[in-house]
Amino acid sequence: MTLLIDINLPEWMSDEELRAILRPLLPDVTLRCASDAGDRDDVVMLATARIAPGRIKTLPCLSG
């Protein structure tokens, strides 16, 4: 299971900071940040505070 972190609110918290907080709480979940390279076909959860226009369309498991 993969969670994409795309907070899009840098004045509050960076994606990497949230990943560091969540990592020990979700040991069986792959945590990826929006800035991470790679394909998004395995993303089944999204953590966001302000979703970027068109973001859902880039996540096939969520846009179904």
pLDDT at 64: 64
Distance CA 48, CA 51 (A): 6
pLDDT at 2: 94
pLDDT tens-digit profile of 16-34? 999 999 999 999 999 999 9
How far is the CA of 34 from the CAs of 15, 40, 64, in angstroms?
7, 10, 20
Give the chain's residues under pLDDT 50: none
pTM of the full structure: 0.87
pLDDT at 37: 82
User: Domain locations in the chain?
Assistant: 2-63
